């Protein structure tokens, strides 16, 4: 009963420590689609989403692995050079979009 709640707080701590905030800010729509299960790979009805997340928070390892795979979390042993390398393909937010 309490494990999913504890894992939610653990996930928040992991996001603070290893979150790839430049990528998170650039791809909020994709992250929202992931959270609401609206992407083509994992499409669920709005009524089944809370049950899906409850199951995911029972075992935090799978959720952390998914966030690492999508780049929203850095690996635990990533150096500052690795982090810069990963985000080097992101466009500069101050330069504006290419279509502007």
- Measured from the Cβ of residue 25, the count of other Cβ atoms closer than 10 Å reads 11
Nearest to 42 by CA among 33, 54, 32: 33
Two tokens at 42?
Answer: 């994992």
The string of pLDDT tens digits covering residues 55-95 is: 888 888 988 998 898 888 998 888 889 888 888 877 765 55
Sign of the alpha-carbon dihedral angle for 21, 22, 28, 33:
negative
The reported pTM is 0.75
Q: How far apart are CA 9 and CA 79, in angstroms?
A: 25
Q: How far apart are CA 19 and CA 74, in angstroms?
A: 6
The string of pLDDT tens digits covering residues 16-58 is: 999 999 988 888 888 888 888 888 878 888 899 999 888 888 8
């Amino acid at each position: 009963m309490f494990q999913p709640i504890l894992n939610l707080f653990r996930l928040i701590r992991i996001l603070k420590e290893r979150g790839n905030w430049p990528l998170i800010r650039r791809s909020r729509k994709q992250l929202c689609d992931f959270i609401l299960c609206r992407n083509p790979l994992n499409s669920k009805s709005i009524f089944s989403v809370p049950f899906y997340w409850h199951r995911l928070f029972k075992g935090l390892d799978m959720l952390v692995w998914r966030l690492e795979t999508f780049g929203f979390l850095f690996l635990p042993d990533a150096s500052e050079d690795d982090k810069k390398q990963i985000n080097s393909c992101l466009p500069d937010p101050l330069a504006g979009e290419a279509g502007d």
